[in-house]
Structure 1
Amino acid sequence: MPLPQAEALTFRKSSYSGSAGNCVEVADTPGASTVRDSQNPASGHLTFSSSEWTALLTTTRRTEAHHA
């Protein structure tokens, strides 16, 4: 099944975005998550399968904990 175009997705600010304007927006789709730069949404987006998204978040959390 093809994924929807970015225009058809509902993006929200990621809870992992920084407060200094470094914002990432996320849109959930069945079996995937799509991310884009909130300051330049027309520049494109990346879509991750559920397992890829979980791995990305796990690595991010691990890295944050290591640098805290």
Structure 2
Amino acid sequence: MAKTWMVIVGILLIVIFIIPMILLLNLVLQLNTLSRSFQSMVIGAFGFSLLMIVIGIILIFLGYKRQ
């Protein structure tokens, strides 16, 4: 049996962080029109969302691997 909690947490991480990542993508594509401090904040938030999605994918993979 798979480690169901790892799979559930992984899916939740992906679902929760995919929406802000899509919304931040619009700001990332317009970076040169933003102020300098706002640029670093947008890049940091985008990177954090991407990191959480990658962690979610790894958790799903590990949950299915341990059968």
**Shared fold, TM over 0.5:** no
Name which one, 1 or 2, has greater alpha-carbon Rg.
2
Which structure shows the bigger proportion of residues in helix conformation? 2
Higher relative contact order (CA 8 A, sep 6+): 2
TM-score by length of 1: 0.36
